[in-house]
A and B are shown apart, each in its own frame.
Chain A
């Protein structure tokens, strides 16, 4: 951060001030932090063991022993949701990271090199946009088995396209800015310009879009798991828990409602945080 002190500080400070006034975004941030902490600590703080069954108990509604009730095998629902959240969040973060790396590299190279390389690279992105990706992911999962690593890759491979477009647009616009030209004429090396001017200035939109990609990735995972094409038992995720919940919702509605609320609340939090960051990091809104 020290290298960008001069240009960057005001923008980031400004952003933080704006974000801290946005209570919805702060609430979202708090929920995400809480979820991450709980997920990391789950093996130690979960009230019951992951495999612990109690067939005699069966499905019970929420009680003092089991805050969120138990499922038909007498497994504690809170424990199941906590362990499921580990998988859902991991998929969300790792698949987004895959998309982030591919997208940023692709977009940055296209934007920097420009010319024919740029045209070809963006043509490829256009073509991929036109592909029915939902169908391809289903296809991949069917053909290569329902493997969690493949899931990361498949989802990441879908979600990088928009990131590439955003980064390319940003880089193209920045290259023509006067302050980059000024840096050139001052004799700064290409790499210094990239490090000092281009990267800090593309960071904002990248952070915003990353935050907004995580919920859509988690949604995709839940969608696939719900159809039985994503996470496979004995592993569990929120989408899979919702799938089980639907099967028994008539008798035991809490088995659907609790994982559903958890998933929705997480998506909410991430979307609010993303929207808040977008408003905060957009210098154009600073006048309001």
Chain B
């Protein structure tokens, strides 16, 4: 296991380097610099600004010094918000995004796993078809449609819940969490149904049944552990998806999180901010992929032996 983690971390280094280099090249090859603003700025001011942000140096020199700064966790100053560091902005946006992602994941796991397990217990009955059809609707209902519809119904018509904001009013986190979580709940429902169906047909489940264990006990003690492996493996990619989804959900509900910062930075051509958040997101995604793979291996004895044998 330790070796597996070590190798995966070793692999992460080139991936991150590729991400940084690609993003850096893309951002610097963009037509129109960050200071080509609408207002006519005197050329000497632009020169001074460029000198301040090291833009007058040759590209490779900028690249090397950027790499050095990133290693120290310093993403440089923001072009758009003078006097503020990208690191500072990321730190300001992260708590809201992390909280939103956490609640969304909670929604997704609770609804998804219970629907999937219920469906797998009675395949090809109403108990299977109803949650699985609902899951299909969840997959085909993108967050940018579901969110506004929820706002329309629960925020505007029924006036039960606030339509936007974060930490302003009680209950203003419910709609964003549901909006972001629903799609993943649907995927998780399908995955856990498939995983459970496979496990429930295994010999050791038959043994457990033959011993006279009750069905709920079989599910809880024997089947869930194996049946949820596909779900665990999905958590890593799901996390990456949640970050993307947070772009939309944070825009709809006006949540001051990283996703909204990123979209704004994209519109404002705030290059250092784009560069910094991209590197930051990539690191997060790699870490979460690793964590979900480790969890899947730890839960699955077969894989556990494989990693031991191979590495």
Contacts and interface: CB of A to CB of B under 8 A. Distances in A.
Interface residues of A, number: 40
Contacts of A135: 243-244, 262, 277-278, 281-282
A264 B143 CA distance: 11
Interface in B267-282: 267, 269, 274, 277-278, 281-282
Contact of A264 (B18, B141, B267): B141
B27 A271 contact: no
A131 B29 contact: no
B14 A132 contact: no
Contacts of A144: 30
A242 B140 contact: no
B152 A256 contact: yes
B14 A127 contact: yes
A267 interface: yes
A264 B148 contact: no
A139 B278 contact: yes
A143 B29 contact: yes
B149 A260 contact: yes
Interface residues of B, number: 47
Contact of B145 (A143, A260, A272): A260
Interface string A212-250: 000100010011001111000000000100110110011
Given A127-B14, A135-B281, A139-B23, 20 more contacts: A130-B12, A130-B15, A134-B241, A136-B22, A138-B263, A139-B26, A139-B274, A142-B269, A143-B26, A145-B31, A219-B142, A229-B263, A246-B144, A246-B252, A249-B151, A249-B152, A250-B156, A263-B145, A271-B139, A272-B136
11 contacts: A131-B18, A132-B278, A139-B23, A139-B26, A139-B274, A227-B251, A249-B152, A256-B152, A260-B149, A264-B142, A267-B142
Interface of B: 11-12, 14-15, 18-19, 22-23, 26-27, 29-31, 136-137, 139-142, 144-145, 148-149, 151-152, 156, 240-241, 243-244, 247-248, 251-252, 262-263, 266-267, 269, 274, 277-278, 281-282, 285-286, 289
